[in-house]
Structure 1
Amino acid sequence: MPTPVIMPQMGESIVEGTITKWLKKIGDSVEKDEPLFEISTDKVDAEIPAPSSGVLTEIKFPEGATVGINTVVAMLDGAAANAGSAPATAAKPQSNAPQVPAKPQSAAPQMPQAITPQVTGKGGIEIVMPQMGESIFEGTITKWLKQVGDSVKKDEPLFEISTDKVDAEIPSTVDGILTEIRAHEGETVQINAVVAIIGGSAPLETTALPQSAPTPQPTKPAAPQSSAAPVHQPAPIHTGDKIKSSPLVRRIAKEHNIDLRYVPGSGSNGRINKQDILAYLEKGSAAQQVQLPQTAIPRPEASQPKDLTAEVVPLTKMRAIIAQRMVESKRIAPHVHSIYKVDMTRIARLRDRERAAFEQRHGVKLTYMPFIAVAAVEALRRHPIVNASLVDNAIHYHANINLGIAVALEWGLIVPTVRESEKRSFADLARSIADLAGRARAKKLSPNEVGGSTFTLTNPGIFGDEFGLPIINQPESAILAIGALKKEPVVLSDAEGNDTIAIRSMQYYCLGFDHRLIDGADAGKFMSEFKHQLETWDRPLS
């Protein structure tokens, strides 16, 4: 049976690799774990071993090609090797049955299963259910974003899935026509099972499953194009239609309205990598950017009264997991809550003064969250017990502060993680929080961006809550809930003991903590330090 060889992911932030050298040619026999080709990424150069023994029957990309992770780059035919036959010129048709992934060998790098195209006997490309994490073996198709007969562009979202960890949009890896849908909305499918076929021309009407009155998908309006460059705009660095960059770079550029023609690239042949665009963002010079028109984020419409009807609606996978974990947390940990009121006037005035300049310099809006995150990180550094976990009757002190940021979604709640927050600058924290929250709402998070947090921030105050009593995000030992920021009269005392009444910006913060590990005194010391950091803020916003 033909075996696809895919471009491996060589790190969490690596989304593509460049094939620098093929170590075998078509017709050569290859042993399992024998080096097959060499790749170069933003971080490493590496030899990639063959996933199985066989004959190299097809090379899909030449040397020098930059290929997205999980894309098929070659085909091996084990049958040809066993029979001693001449190499095939094309891959054999693949079975439609789900393929169970083999356990990774110690000598070869792990290759995450994702949306891997495979050639079918009819010339179409098989689209399979991706593996969204090492422990994930199935996914539920929640929505098809294209219907049979629709044109699909490479990297265009094709369908949405829900797993135990994330809800995500799955993009197409090829251009073509969606000719067949094999798994319907609501169906739970094993990883590597074929869910659709993309062909190069007309739909395969005879093999398509009948669709049960699909809901028409709204057409997204095209993003408005910039009509003119700002004054003093320098000449573009890159010319032509094709600018060499990774999908990650293109996503960052889209989110921050940056024209990649003006971003210097340090990679091969001027290729723009992640470091290049982040450095460009740091400069934040308006004269170096072409700003596309900002699309205003619509405020949620007021909910309309609905007719009450009796119905039973099954829990979504995400809702079921949330329910399970909340019950487990309350059962495992004796919850105690400590509530402090913080004078945020200094922060509010600083934010009002600096918000425009900050956004211009760093390409992200200045919210209150990075102030809160920095204050929490500083308090956690001074009181590490609040950042610890209780595991197997032992206290595990963590080497890093990984901040979980709870993000409310229309369909549930998710907690992406800002890792190693203690090493990040104010601006970097602001960018990371905004980026994770935005991609969580757009279903663009990867599994490694969810989980692994050591302390969580949750913000019920955005809905007007004075304060909330949060449930701990296991296996953490504490969670901080942020209340609404409100102006109110406050009694102030000067050095001579004279009292005055002033209007101040005040905010409640509630620390929920596990009393097995954290005493009330520890919680009080942490909250006092957190309060002090905010009320006496004197840090630069960089």
Structure 2
Amino acid sequence: MATDVVMPQMGESITEGTLTKWLKKPGDTVARDEPLFEISTDKVDAEIPSPAAGILGAIKVEEGATVTVGTVVCAIEEAGSSPAAPAPAAPAKAESVTPAATTTAANDAAAPAPAPEAPAAAAGPGTEVPMPQMGESITEGTLTKWLKKVGDKVERDEPIFEISTDKVDAEIPSPAAGTLTEIKVQEGQTVTVGSIVAVIGGGAAAPVAAPKAAAPAPAAAPAAAPVASASAGETPRSSPLVRKIASENNVDLSGVAGSGASGRITKQDILGHLEGAPSAPSAAPAPVVAAPATTPTPAAPKAAPAPAYSPAPGELVPLSKMRSIIAKRMVESKATSPHVHTVFKVDMTRIVKLREKEKNKYEQRNGVKLTYMPFITRAAINALRKHPIVNAAMQGDAILYNKNINIGIAVALDWGLIVPVIKQTEEKNFLGITRAIVDVADRARNKKLAPDEVSGGTFTLTNSGIFGEQFGTPIIAQPQSAILGIGGLNKEPMVLTDKDGNDSIAIRWIQRFTLGFDHRTIDGADAGKFMTDFKQYLENWTEDIG
């Protein structure tokens, strides 16, 4: 009897892993717990042990392939039985590899990879499109908008409709290429998870996907351009996967900014670097900078029609799905947690001067704008490390001390409010936090967030100060114990005392921060200590911003 060996779960937020090296070959005898293969994820590189003793049978996933957690990568046959022939491995691999594998450029070395894609493209019976499961506790979703109409051709993974649930608004991709032949659920309808909402007829559009996925690999030559002037020095920390991608694309890792702990270069860092590579050749930077500037311009008219939906005076307008959910959650939170708020005034002058001095160079160096949010987020993370009770949550008659600091960032949308969560922020440096904030905010506005990216938060930041308020008293996002409200940043006169005790009045940049906390778990003294450390971190900033 064979024992399947699967891609293991290497962390709570890890959904996939790259198999970087086989330590055994088909036909080899293996002992239980003997290392079989190596994997690389965003968080860890590890050797994976065999779950049983026996003989390694067919290898279903080749080196360099990225697969989802739970995918069968090989089988261990009982000793004395004939191991499965390794030949069929390539087709099996193609079925289990996720679309993410194509982005690593690692599978491009496997010549048979595009071939197994062809059967998926073959015309055949219609493919049913179900209402997806958008979170463990989600049982239904509202189909808010169709992005395609009956008769339209669609590519695999092309968005075809939008849904709204308790957790997230999202665009849902097509599970197959073909033609949209039937729409079973109309806009505005709420249906249970698994309900069939549409049918995709067989079509020949899918083969396009294979050349598209394979195309980035030959672009290795331009990739060398941005690193031609990379400064020499120690090789930065990175995983085997990152080094493999860098090697295949002739990238010097010393020229890639790492966003992981201690400057570690992650898979996202190297892929982001490669995506920006085409902008580097000689005199190309100017046009490339201009292109993003012109791209948003057409978007502005698209946003303009929104005011046309403004209700007329006296009109009764039903709550949208998102508005209804927000209302329900806010009432629940106020009924659940005895809210207390404390306001601290922080002198942000040091941060303002640092940002003004570095913002242009920072954006040129890292490809993201330098805002105040990463400074505030890093200060909050530092304070949460020192005061874990603020990062805790009530669970029945006990307090759960969360092992990770998962920061929710409230994002105001034209149609409501959403709070994407940046997981395991304690493992990210300043640059990593900066990139993560920009990423989740952009994808929240474009309805590209996955369900697990709007759940699991342990502490929330909400920046209503951008609208001009001095400070607010935000409501806690359950089951968290605290939320930090960010007030407006303004110049104010302030009394300063020098080391000799002399007072003077100076103009300083002042910002007010409000900690809303659940008095069941957090005492006033704990809240005060947390805010004192948060304030001192900002006022005496020493951290390298990268």
TM range (shorter): 0.5 to 0.7
Q: Does 1:38 align with 2:60?
A: yes
The residue correspondences of 1:103-118 to structure 2 (distance < 5 A) are none
Q: Does 1:429 align with 2:433?
A: yes
**Aligned-partner Cα distance in 2 for 1:305–1:66:** 45
- 1:282-325 per-residue CA deviation (whole Å, 9 max, x = no partner) reads 79887479764213477776968967344443333322222222
The residue correspondences of 1:428-447 to structure 2 (distance < 5 A) are 428-447=432-451
| Structure 2 counterpart of 1:462 | 466
Q: Structure 2 counterpart of 1:516, which letter?
A: R
**Helix, strand or coil at the partner of 1:371:** helix
- 1:163-187 per-residue CA deviation (whole Å, 9 max, x = no partner) reads 1211100112333322221111011
Q: Does 1:471 align with 2:462?
A: no
Which range moved further: 461-470 or 167-176? 167-176
Q: Is the 8 A contact 1:155 1:173 kept in 2?
A: yes
- 1:207-262 per-residue CA deviation (whole Å, 9 max, x = no partner) reads xxxxxxxxxxxxxxxxxxxxxxxxxxxxxxxxx9645499xx9xxx9xxxxx8898
| Structure 2 counterpart of 1:172 | 174
Which range moved further: 185-194 or 432-441? 185-194
Aligned-residue offset at 1:425: 0.4
| Structure 2 counterpart of 1:129 | 131
Q: Does 1:47 align with 2:72?
A: yes
Aligned-residue offset at 1:271: 9.5
Which range moved further: 320-329 or 469-478? 320-329
The residue correspondences of 1:77-96 to structure 2 (distance < 5 A) are none
Q: 2:94 aligns with which of 45, 65, 80?
A: 65
Q: Does 1:510 align with 2:529?
A: no
| Structure 1 counterpart of 2:536 | 532
Q: Does 1:335 align with 2:345?
A: no
Q: Is the 8 A contact 2:8 2:70 kept in 1?
A: no
Q: Is the 8 A contact 1:281 1:363 kept in 2?
A: no
The residue correspondences of 1:253-332 to structure 2 (distance < 5 A) are 266=244, 275-279=266-270, 281=272, 287=280, 292=288, 293-294=291-292, 295-296=295-296, 308-332=312-336
| Structure 2 counterpart of 1:230 | none
Q: Structure 2 counterpart of 1:482, which letter?
A: I
Q: 1:388 aligns with which of 389, 392, 403?
A: 392
TM-score, normalised by the number of residues in structure 1: 0.67
**Aligned-partner Cα distance in 2 for 1:489–1:331:** 40
The verdict on how the C-alpha distance between 1:426 and 1:65 changes in structure 2, with shifts beyond 3 A counting, is same
The verdict on how the C-alpha distance between 1:143 and 1:67 changes in structure 2, with shifts beyond 3 A counting, is farther
**Aligned-partner Cα distance in 1 for 2:223–2:130:** 32
| Structure 2 counterpart of 1:187 | 189
Q: Is the 8 A contact 1:17 1:69 kept in 2?
A: no
Q: Structure 2 counterpart of 1:163, which letter?
A: T
Q: Is the 8 A contact 1:406 1:456 kept in 2?
A: yes
| Structure 1 counterpart of 2:163 | 161
The residue correspondences of 1:354-393 to structure 2 (distance < 5 A) are 354-393=358-397
Q: Is the 8 A contact 1:36 1:47 kept in 2?
A: no
The verdict on how the C-alpha distance between 1:183 and 1:364 changes in structure 2, with shifts beyond 3 A counting, is same
Q: Structure 2 counterpart of 1:472, which letter?
A: I
Which structure has greater helix proportion? 2
- Aligned length, in residue pairs: 422
**Helix, strand or coil at the partner of 2:318:** coil
Q: Structure 2 counterpart of 1:152, which letter?
A: V
**Aligned-partner Cα distance in 2 for 1:308–1:465:** 28
Aligned-residue offset at 1:377: 0.8
Q: Structure 1 counterpart of 2:511, which letter?
A: Q
Q: Structure 2 counterpart of 1:431, which letter?
A: R
Q: Percent identity?
A: 50
The verdict on how the C-alpha distance between 1:304 and 1:311 changes in structure 2, with shifts beyond 3 A counting, is closer
Aligned-residue offset at 1:510: 0.5
Q: Structure 2 counterpart of 1:155, which letter?
A: D
**Helix, strand or coil at the partner of 2:66:** coil
Aligned-residue offset at 1:498: 3.4
**Aligned-partner Cα distance in 2 for 1:443–1:261:** 34
The residue correspondences of 1:24-35 to structure 2 (distance < 5 A) are none
**Aligned-partner Cα distance in 1 for 2:192–2:248:** 41
- 1:364-390 per-residue CA deviation (whole Å, 9 max, x = no partner) reads 211111100110111111122211122
Q: Structure 2 counterpart of 1:470, which letter?
A: P
Q: Does 1:147 align with 2:149?
A: yes
Aligned-residue offset at 1:69: 4.6
Q: Is the 8 A contact 1:490 1:504 kept in 2?
A: yes
Q: Does 1:415 align with 2:419?
A: yes
Q: Is the 8 A contact 1:265 1:276 kept in 2?
A: no
Q: 2:201 aligns with which of 199, 202, 220?
A: 199
Which range moved further: 518-527 or 292-301? 292-301
The verdict on how the C-alpha distance between 1:332 and 1:260 changes in structure 2, with shifts beyond 3 A counting, is farther
**Aligned-partner Cα distance in 1 for 2:335–2:95:** 50
The verdict on how the C-alpha distance between 1:438 and 1:315 changes in structure 2, with shifts beyond 3 A counting, is same
**Aligned-partner Cα distance in 2 for 1:467–1:339:** 8
Aligned-residue offset at 1:480: 0.3
Q: Is the 8 A contact 1:371 1:534 kept in 2?
A: yes
The verdict on how the C-alpha distance between 1:118 and 1:138 changes in structure 2, with shifts beyond 3 A counting, is farther
Q: Structure 2 counterpart of 1:134, which letter?
A: E
| Structure 1 counterpart of 2:230 | none
The verdict on how the C-alpha distance between 1:410 and 1:15 changes in structure 2, with shifts beyond 3 A counting, is farther
Structure 1: unaligned runs, 5 residues or longer: 1-6, 24-34, 51-58, 72-116, 203-239, 254-258
Aligned-residue offset at 1:133: 2.1
Q: Does 1:481 align with 2:469?
A: no
